[in-house]
Amino acid sequence: MTGNTKAPSKFGVLLYPGFEPLDVFGPIEALQMLSREVKLDIAWIGPTLDPVSTVPKDIPMNTTGSQVATLVVPTHTYDNPPKDLEVLLVPGGIGTTGEAHALAGPVEFIKDIYPKLSYLITICTGAELAARSGVLDGKRATANKDTWKTTTALRPQVNWVRMARYVVDGNCWTSGGVSAGIDATLAWIAHIYGEEVARRGANFMEYEWRDDRNWDPFAYMFGDGVTI
């Protein structure tokens, strides 16, 4: 589809306090490689225009007292996203484990914008936010394997697929934990622009792309007695 002017080019990243760094910057790296070949825009969508931290204020990040926050500057807000957004990336992270009221902003944003999107891509527990919004109801989806029970219990209306690096159902692409977002995004790029473009990006990233969506040793690793 290279050269296809209808290929989506307007991307947005949903930022919220406590997003996981690699959930965001793995896919972003793949898109940045793609941006060498085709024009694309990435919007950073936060609650406000204030920098968004990977460490949320009201959730204990860890018990070690570590100071590991990354601060990323949004370009847009939930209330005022780009009007022509086509692809939304929803990262996971410790921030998704907050109280429902604290998640209302991101969840409502997904619910409101989904009908206008061409594609939704979730990474790790980003699927929890999408699931809470209802947009995954009746669809096949996957998520982080370590937190599988918690994630899937949140929304039984979703057809959760445990053994998967990533899952595609309609325009919803959902990936396993953290690093799996890189494979899902590369697969999405292959779907839209062809495998050659995706593989070139993976190679420049010196990344061993797992292009088999059923490859998932982590489903076994965090099996926890669950039948796969």
Summarize as ranges the residues that interact with a second copy (CB under 8 A): 20-22, 24-26, 28-29, 31-32, 35-42, 44, 51, 54, 61-62, 64-73, 124, 144-146, 176-180, 203-208, 210, 217-218, 221-222
CB of 65 to a second copy, least distance (A): 5
Q: Which is nearer to a second copy, 44 or 160 (CB)?
A: 44
For 174, list phi and psi in degrees, rounded to 5.
-120, 140
CA 184 vs. chain centroid, Å, equals 9
Closest to 70 in 3D by CA, of 23, 35, 30, 102: 23
**How many Å apart are CA 175 and CA 91, to the nearest integer?**
10
CB of 134 to a second copy, least distance (A): 26
**How many Å apart are CA 159 and CA 140, to the nearest integer?**
5
CB of 121 to a second copy, least distance (A): 16
Q: Which is nearer to a second copy, 75 or 171 (CB)?
A: 75
Residue type, 13: V
| Spatial contact of 136 and 127, defined as CB atoms under 8 Å apart | yes
Q: Which is nearer to a second copy, 79 or 208 (CB)?
A: 208
CB of 172 to a second copy, least distance (A): 19
Q: Which is nearer to a second copy, 40 or 59 (CB)?
A: 40
Residue type, 165: R
